[in-house]
Structure 1
Amino acid sequence: MNGPQENARLWAARGLGGVELLHARYRRQRFAPHVHEGYVFTVIERGAQRFRHRGAEHLAATGSMVLINPDELHTGATAVEEGWQYRGFYPTLAQLAPVFAELGRPLDATPAFATSVLQDPQVSAAFSQLHRLADGDAEALEQQTVWREALLLLFGRHARLGALVEPGHEPLAVQRARELLGARLQHPPSLEELAQAVGLSPFHFLRVFRRATGLPPHAWLKQQRLTRAQGLLRAGWAPLEVALQLGFADQSHLNRQFKQAYGVAPGAYRRAWQS
């Protein structure tokens, strides 16, 4: 990363079914508002992090865990002068399916966390140990055992069962707009085009879209580009190819937005999945 005060290493933990792991120390990094397609579990090792989540400001100090549900908008920055260091897990719903099955919770009902900052030393210690095992190339059998134990502990104590939101539950206008934006990431429609396509005035469409997604259309488009960029980079695409494919102005534009959202550059993210 940028000098001794800032460093981050991201990799796909093969022993955990390819779950993304991140070990990072930041001092100046400021995460722009962004979402992840799966969960975020992070253990704060040193310092403290502040972040905005669900319309409120939160502080995560050393020893605590940050919990973000899939597709929830959040930010991130240091809360102290020396910055913060953490170990992060980014599992998708599909990667958690075996654990959900053991909990008797099918994927048509998604467990969610009501708290943004978790104070549970036993759970934090379990995930910290697991991360170190994966970082140190422990045998897959040990990693998989501790992974299940840690997840069952976390979900058993702190998750609540929430209904999985299906696209059809959104206003029809929003569903159509999302489909149109998703199909035209490279050359997105204007606000007037979107509103006309769904049969609403631009102002009314903006209100409906923001109420349903939590974001204005341009910000939702940005998140979709970044999510698609992750998929293409995992598939081995070069950052320049990704930028051109998804409508970023150039590779530097992709680099800047990707690092603001995920804390690592696109090239580093791609290498993590090729190792």
Structure 2
Amino acid sequence: MNRLSTHEQVRFSTAGDIGDLELLSARFIEHRFAPHVHDGYVIAVLEAGAERYRYRGEEHLANAGSIALINPDEVHTGAKGCDQGWRYRVFYPHTRQIQVLLEELELPGTGLPMFRGSVHRDADLVASLGELHRLLENDQATLLQRQTHWREAMLQLLLRHARLPQPSRAGCEPRAVARAKELLASRLPEPPSLEEMALAVNLSPFHFARVFRRATGLPPHAWLKLRRLEQARALLKSGCTPLAVAIQLGFADQSHLNRQFKQAYGVAPGAYRRACLGA
């Protein structure tokens, strides 16, 4: 995972379902960023190598496995911190996107959060942010999964490194959870967004996601995945082909079904079907 390529690579994209969140995946060797600012936050996950940058009058060195955080409207630079350069994934959320999250958590009066320090080694958060970045670049991730993971990862980041007040504990909303389960089960091929489900149960998206996880032990997208796999197993037993099952249940393609099914049950869908049918 820490192997560095020998040439520079840059991929810039936006996540339209996360308010056009800007994303960067890059491998830099000799590139040097001139002093500049962003009107939103910079959240960088260092995957390999090291980056050196000047920020708030100090030199910082971010090595692989660390997070580099920069607040809005702060001048900073960027250059290699070792001979091999660096590879990282970066989120550029604008301030309104963060304010929306605080409003969903019913923390609208806390003001705009500011990160403390700049470079942090926080292994589980590095892993969570890296996974989130890949999900936002991955067409196979469901809208529900992307929206839920975005909120959960940002909450942890802000709690740990921006002195965000701890939100109140998610309450018990059995009717809301039951209604959400019904909605998800009825729409396995094309699941609703987090916002749509929250609206259906009259809760904010963030509050709904926390209530659902407290009640089931799973985020909504993970509960959906289990229901899809249960239904896939039933369809395969009845004789449906893996391709037909993948199409019927909304998997991105047959290989997507194969990966998830084998991960869950230890056997490929085709082999499971043949065994059940005695073929």
- The bucket for the TM-score relative to the shorter chain is 0.5 to 0.7
Moved over 2 A (4+): 102-108
Alignment of 1:147 with 2:166, yes or no, is no
Alignment of 1:99 with 2:101, yes or no, is yes
Q: Secondary structure at the match of 2:163?
A: strand
State the distance in 2 between where 1:107 and 1:124 align: 28
- The aligned residue for residue 81 of structure 1 is 83
Q: Cα–Cα, structure 1 residues 104 and 85, in superposed 2: closer, same or farther, change >3 Å?
A: same
TM-score normalized by the length of structure 1: 0.55
Q: Is the 8 A contact 2:99 2:112 kept in 1?
A: no
Q: Secondary structure at the match of 1:113?
A: coil
- The aligned residue for residue 56 of structure 2 is 54
- Could you tell me how far 1:15 is from its partner in structure 2? 2.5
- Could you tell me how far 1:134 is from its partner in structure 2? 1.1
- The aligned residue for residue 200 of structure 2 is none
Structure 1: gaps spanning 5 or more residues: 162-275
- Could you tell me how far 1:107 is from its partner in structure 2? 6.9
- Could you tell me how far 1:106 is from its partner in structure 2? 2.3
Q: Cα–Cα, structure 1 residues 14 and 4, in superposed 2: closer, same or farther, change >3 Å?
A: farther
State the distance in 1 between where 2:45 and 2:117 align: 14
- Could you tell me how far 1:47 is from its partner in structure 2? 0.3
- Could you tell me how far 1:149 is from its partner in structure 2? 0.5
- Could you report, residue by residue, the CA deviation over 1:124-181 in whole angstroms, capped at 9, with x for unpaired residues? 11110001111112121100110000000000111036xxxxxxxxxxxxxxxxxxxx
- Could you report, residue by residue, the CA deviation over 1:11-53 in whole angstroms, capped at 9, with x for unpaired residues? 1111322100000000011001110000000100010000000
State the distance in 1 between where 2:123 and 2:106 align: 26
- The aligned residue for residue 248 of structure 2 is none
State the distance in 2 between where 1:9 and 1:109 align: 33
> Mapping of 1:110-259 within 5 angstroms?
110-137=112-139, 138-160=141-163
Q: Cα–Cα, structure 1 residues 108 and 150, in superposed 2: closer, same or farther, change >3 Å?
A: closer
State the distance in 2 between where 1:86 and 1:154 align: 17
State the distance in 2 between where 1:140 and 1:9 align: 21
Of 17, 20, 29, the match for 1:18 = 20
**Structure 2 counterpart of 1:141, which letter?**
L
Q: Secondary structure at the match of 2:114?
A: strand
Q: Secondary structure at the match of 2:65?
A: coil
Q: Secondary structure at the match of 1:160?
A: coil
- Could you tell me how far 1:105 is from its partner in structure 2? 3.2
**Structure (1 or 2) with the larger CA radius of gyration:** 2
State the distance in 2 between where 1:47 and 1:72 align: 24
State the distance in 2 between where 1:85 and 1:5 align: 11
State the distance in 1 between where 2:58 and 2:105 align: 31
- Could you tell me how far 1:108 is from its partner in structure 2? 7.2
Q: CA RMSD of the aligned region, Å? A: 1.9
Q: Which has the higher contact order (CA 8 A, sep 6+)?
A: 1
Aligned residues: 160
**Structure 1 counterpart of 2:132, which letter?**
L
State the distance in 2 between where 1:121 and 1:25 align: 21
- Could you tell me how far 1:98 is from its partner in structure 2? 2.3
Q: Is the 8 A contact 2:22 2:93 kept in 1?
A: yes
Structure 2: gaps spanning 5 or more residues: 165-279
Q: Is the 8 A contact 1:50 1:57 kept in 2?
A: yes
Q: Is the 8 A contact 2:49 2:87 kept in 1?
A: yes
- The aligned residue for residue 36 of structure 1 is 38
**Structure 2 counterpart of 1:159, which letter?**
A
State the distance in 2 between where 1:114 and 1:62 align: 20
**Structure 1 counterpart of 2:46, which letter?**
I
- Could you tell me how far 1:4 is from its partner in structure 2? 5.6
Percent of aligned pairs with the same amino acid: 50
- Could you tell me how far 1:115 is from its partner in structure 2? 1.0
- Could you tell me how far 1:5 is from its partner in structure 2? 1.0
**Structure 2 counterpart of 1:26, which letter?**
F
